[in-house]
Amino acid sequence: MRKRVVITGLGPVTPIGIGKEVFWESLIAGRSGAKKIQFEGCDMDQYTSQIACPVDSFSLTDFLRKKKDFRYLGRTSAFAMAATKLAFEDAGLDLDYIEGKKGQGAYMVKHIHPGKIGVILGVGAQNMDLCEKWHRQLLKHNGPKRVSPFALPHVQICSVPVNVTMAFGIKGIACSVSTACASANHAMIAAYKQILLGEEEIMITGGADACITPFVFGGFVSMNAMSRQNDAPEKASRPFDRDRDGFVMGEGAGIVVLEELDHARNRGAHIYCELSGYGATSDAYHIAAPDPDGELQAQAMINALKSAHTSPEEIDYINAHGTSTPLNDPAETLAIKKALGPRAHHVAISSTKSMTGHLIGAAGGIEIIATALMTEKGRIHPTINLENPGDGCDLFYVPQKPIDMEIGKAISNNFGFGGQNASILTSRYDQKN
């Protein structure tokens, strides 16, 4: 029999709350994290979109002991480290702080060999705040003289999981996955496989990103991809609505603890839900736009159903990619219809991004946490700002208010630039099975 993989720890660092309790309260209340932003030294009049969902009042020292090299960390790495601490604690995994050389110690997980814990994280960009900072220094001084020797190691995409391993003494696999908006889903699929193959006992996975920077934000502005509803930020992210005009950028991290079912049972872990299957495909259509036919998005969901030995009739809920862009929402709706057939009109669908904004590489991690909480609590969070469904958006997207509904099986979708599609199927955990 194939091993079973369960989610036992949740670590959300989001624009609408840090920690699962505050995050959940915000989801059910339909709270938006959007607000106007200002980049230091930038003429914001050049930015047609001036709104985002930042993580306010965040300090890594609220989560980890201060280390000398914290000052070199990028925001993406810091989010990932904080979210990992939250996930470890939520999973009931005891941590000891072990002093290291020159005061650079690490939190170590008790009773589990560090080589049997791995980290695979989705990162859409990299530590772009550092990348842009050091590039400005390079240009300002006409060369690398004032560029820190720690700059390059910390801007790399792989620095995000590496910093997590160093903070927690993790010595299993450590790598990053970068597939734009699908990064976290792909990372969780890879982590799932590590457990199935018996390579690790525990996997730290999900995603982190901090793309609210002048260059990245400006790049999306130049693509006309983001909402321009600057006068009403909290209304700007409106997936599936007639008046949607683009996504709202978010930032943060969503980290989960995965472990094999018997391992979790043996240590008395709380189990949120089971990760039962996955599907991943490529549109091979366009570098940025989704295929409007939704054919390969549908295939990702169909593959997830097959992987989990599940029929469309068993799906109760879909956490949609739901970006609030003119192209994505009708394409995803069509894909859901193709994947589920008649069942598509009977499932509940909602978009976490309507509240958090689009966290790019962290999106899938945050959304699997939302799905796990909804499965456990029997409540489905709303898609806020959905007032008038747009053309081609004719399914039940749980508009405006949460609903009470038991979720047996759910799908969480994320689709990235270049047609990188990844769907994860979760199941409610039954202690009797």
Q: How far is CA 23 from CA 28, 128, 209, 370, in A?
A: 9, 25, 17, 8
- What φ, ψ does residue 73 adopt, rounded to 5°? -70, 145
For 418, the token pair is 């270049």
Is residue 328 within 8 A of residue 353, CB to CB? The reply is no
Q: Between 75-90 and 128-140, two packed helices, what is the crossing angle to 10 degrees? A: 160
181 is catalytic: yes
Active-site entry in 53, 181, 273, 393: 181
Burial class of residue 374, CB neighbours in 10 A (0-12, 13-18, 19+): buried
For 393, the token pair is 């958006």
For the beta carbon of residue 148, count every other beta carbon within 10 angstroms. Answer: 15
Burial class of residue 193, CB neighbours in 10 A (0-12, 13-18, 19+): middle
What residues does 334 pair with on adjacent strands? none
- What φ, ψ does residue 419 adopt, rounded to 5°? 75, 35
Residue 375 Cα to chain centre, angstroms: 17
Is residue 10 within 8 A of residue 87, CB to CB? The reply is yes
Q: Which residues are catalytic?
A: 181
